[in-house]
Amino acid sequence: MIVNMSDSATEEQIEHIIQRVREAGFQPHVTRGTERTIVAAVGSGGRRHEIEALSVAPGVDNVVAIAQPFKLVSRQTRPQPSVVEVAGAKCRVKIGGPEVVVIAGPCSVESRQQLLETAEGVKRAGATMLRGGAYKPRTSPYEFQGLGIEALKILREARELTGLPVVTEVMSTEDVDLICEYADMLQVGARNMQNFALLRRLATVKKPILLKRGPSATVKEWLLAAEYLLSGGNDQVALCERGIKTFETATRNTFDLAAVALAKELSHLPVVADPSHGTGKQSLIAAVSRAAIAVGADAIIVEVHPCPERALSDGPQSLDIPQFERMMRGLSAPLRPVLAPAQAC
């Protein structure tokens, strides 16, 4: 349930509502907007009728049910978009602000030289965050699994040299503390989107989370996974669309462009688009990035490798540095003009 306070509600009236929400057996979550304050009553087992009755309390405009199963993630609870701040060694990047953020780097950290060359290249081209996998979720146990802590150390060096904040994947609850020491943002990979133990643990860390959509997850399931993070106390969450499984085999996954727009409509959380995993094809990355930005993506995350043909993971979907530079130049080009009303011929 949501208690919408009126524009003129006083601090005392808001405090009273927060107290009443607690008494009714719910957790109060307060969103202070520029115009009005919203008090959301979330949790199970509370007494709904006591919240409904608050519609006549002083300072209350109305009380409405939250239409969706995800509550804190919903736009209804927070109509204005959230901004996720990623703080690096030298600067802070805002995902969800007026500018699109570009996160780039290799699928996996393979060596010091590979990562530093990529980090410097993507920075020169205009990326403002660095990605790189240290712990890799691979379909086969015989494939490269990542360099682990050695990769984290290399990421830290690149972070300090370039100033780019770093995002890397965390696959297990056991690695959370270690990765928090090295990375500025923690990625929950697609395969772990519904690893509820991991989500619960990440809800308690003081780092922003990049939550990828599971390959077979509906938008509702994806937003409910984000709800685990917010309800557990971490509201610094960016959603990431990275393609889903469909009957189509021409692309590695089917990039769900509509889901980018839909997630923005349903939720206040910023949305990141991953055209690399979304398509699996070098040649489609620039076009799909432009499309994602056109439908409202707040950031894109792109795989870049100094020599994709030698990459230990995801080479076919990695851009080399000159290709990434070209893509970056193309991202700011205007869309084609729409044909004006028909003219007599």
Residue ranges binding ligand PEP (CB under 6 A): 107, 133, 137, 189-191, 212, 242, 277
**C-beta atoms surrounding 175 within 10 Å:** 18
Q: Is 184 in the site for Mn ion (CB under 5 A)?
A: no
In the complex, minimum distance from the CB of residue 171 to ligand PEP, in angstroms, rounded to a whole number: 10
- 237 bridge partner residues: 209
The item of ligand PEP, Mn ion, none sharing an interface with residue 189, based on CB under 5 to 8 Å by kind, is: ligand PEP
Nearer to ligand PEP, 74 or 313 (CB): 313
DSSP class of 319: B
Nearer to ligand PEP, 74 or 274 (CB): 274
Tell which positions 282-341 bind Mn ion, by CB under 5 A: 314
Nearer to Mn ion, 235 or 314 (CB): 314
In the complex, minimum distance from the CB of residue 109 to ligand PEP, in angstroms, rounded to a whole number: 11
CA-to-CA distance for 61 and 42, rounded, in angstroms?
A: 19
CA-to-CA distance for 24 and 292, rounded, in angstroms?
A: 43
In the complex, minimum distance from the CB of residue 179 to ligand PEP, in angstroms, rounded to a whole number: 14
The DSSP-derived string for 212-276 is EPPTT--HHHHHHHHHHHHHTT---EEEEE--B--S--SSSSB--HHHHHHHHHHBSS-EEE-HH
Number of residues interacting with Mn ion: please give it, by CB under 5 A.
2
CA-to-CA distance for 288 and 257, rounded, in angstroms?
A: 8
Number of residues assigned to the chain: 345
In the complex, minimum distance from the CB of residue 152 to Mn ion, in angstroms, rounded to a whole number: 17
Site string for Mn ion, 103-132 (x = CB under 5 A): ----x-------------------------
Site string for Mn ion, 7-26 (x = CB under 5 A): --------------------
In the complex, minimum distance from the CB of residue 241 to ligand PEP, in angstroms, rounded to a whole number: 9
Nearer to ligand PEP, 13 or 282 (CB): 282
In the complex, minimum distance from the CB of residue 106 to Mn ion, in angstroms, rounded to a whole number: 8
DSSP alpha helices (H): ranges in the chain?
11-23, 48-52, 112-125, 149-162, 176-182, 196-202, 219-231, 257-266, 275-279, 285-294, 321-331
Binding site for Mn ion (CB under 5 A): 107, 314
